[in-house]
Amino acid sequence: MLSTQALLSAIGVGEKSATVIGATFQWFLRDLTGMLGGILFTFYQGSNLDSNAKMWRLVADLMNDLGMLMDLISPLFPSAFVFIVCLGSISRSFTGVASGATRAALTQHFALQDNAADISAKEGSQETVATMISMALECLLLVLPLDTH
């Protein structure tokens, strides 16, 4: 939520001088570079994801954090904003490819009774609950006034 707030603020949401087409183009460019990054990552590393699933899962988490950090700092560098958010999008695209592929490999590993679908569904539900809890906490942090006394 914080990274999205930073991005929306940086592209001018709420400012009279910002244009819808300018914001749309920046968002489009960010998404396009992320998609291309995911395709290239898959091309170069796809065959390594099965044999090194644990390592790639860790890399995926780190790349996600790096992508969010890029989004958070992008408003601090207006002249390099598009470049920074595109790098963040590429970073998150690596996350999507690596986490999706390694999730499948790890699910197969834990499916001892031919129950890969059950394990995958439960893991997805647990991830959804964790995301919902973190979103609620993020909302509280954004809404609560900061008292410095």
Highest-confidence segment of 20-24, 74-78, 87-91? 87-91
pLDDT of 143 above 80: no
Q: What is the pTM of this model?
A: 0.70
Q: How far apart are CA 11 and CA 74, in angstroms?
A: 10
The confidence band for 120, taking pLDDT boundaries of 50, 70 and 90, is: confident
The pLDDT tens digits of the residues spanning 82-99 come to 899 999 999 999 998 888
Whole-number Å distance between alpha carbons of 83 and 62: 20
- Strand ranges inside 55-118, DSSP E: none
Structure tokens at 29: 């460019």
**Rounded CA separation 123/119 (Å):** 6
| Domain coordinates in residue numbering, the chain | 2-110, 115-144
Half-sphere exposure for 43 (CA within 13 Å, toward CB): 6
91 and 63 Cβ atoms separated by less than 8 Å: yes
Residues 6+ positions from 121 with CB-CB distance below 8 Å: none
- Is the CB of residue 97 less than 8 Å from the CB of residue 42? yes
What CA–CA distance (Å, rounded) separates 116 from 114? 6
